[in-house]
Chain A
């Protein structure tokens, strides 16, 4: 089955700096790659997703890039703010949510 690896497990940046989280996946048939943000005591919330027919997607300060050949995708957060501090999860899916596999998560801390 699909295996998703996520790095780093923890990331600390200064406010205003950029943050990058990387994920690799094992199954070349995967075609949907969402990113979820989890704040303390809350459930994960989708922040951005990308499908395999595009290489990059942006939404304000957040962007995701996908390299299908290398089987990796990354989350980029620019101009980080303290409210960006949370745990971020990547995921990969071949067909539907039932086969989706999540990475282990990255704890991002943005220092004011």
Chain B
């Protein structure tokens, strides 16, 4: 049981290049999320998905796109990378929690992206 796996672990891009970050979870969780972590700013939600084939915008969605074609995978794309997107990106998943709606987030180990 690997939990949440992110690839790649590190990446350097030049301004204007594109890339896709891959997240895979083997816990059969319904919900998946992409966060970015910047110094002094905690974790901010980029996009999320409440199930296969669905996606929605989070707090900071501009410049990113996502897709959830399979329940276990959640992809984060950058079409034209900018230096402001230099950050550590975390994927997370969670199960559907009855009527309380909150359940623990299970995070991957992150992808460190540098845009020059």
Q: Which residues of chain A have a CB within 8 Å of any CB of chain B?
A: 1, 4, 6, 9, 32, 34, 36, 41-46, 49, 51, 89, 93, 95-98, 100-105
Pair A43/B110 contact, Cβ less than 8 Å: yes
Number of A-B contacts (CB under 8 A): 65
Pair A97/B103 contact, Cβ less than 8 Å: yes
Chain B at the A interface: SS class: loop
Complex Cα spacing A46 to B58, Å: 21
Q: A43-B4, A51-B100 are in contact. Are A98 and B109 (CB under 8 A)?
A: no
Count of interface residues, chain B, beta-carbon cutoff 8 Å: 27
Q: Which residues of chain B have a CB within 8 Å of any CB of chain A?
A: 4, 31, 33, 40-45, 48, 50, 56, 58-59, 90, 92, 94, 100-105, 107-110
Q: A102-B43, A103-B42 are in contact. Are A97 and B107 (CB under 8 A)?
A: no
User: Min CB distance, B104 to chain A, in Å?
Assistant: 4
| Chain A, residue nearest B42 (CB) | A102
Pair A43/B92 contact, Cβ less than 8 Å: yes
Of the A-B pairs whose beta carbons lie under 8 Å apart in the complex, a sample of 18, sorted by A's number, is A4-B42, A9-B40, A34-B102, A36-B107, A43-B4, A43-B107, A44-B43, A45-B107, A49-B102, A51-B100, A96-B102, A97-B31, A100-B45, A102-B42, A102-B44, A103-B42, A105-B40, A105-B42
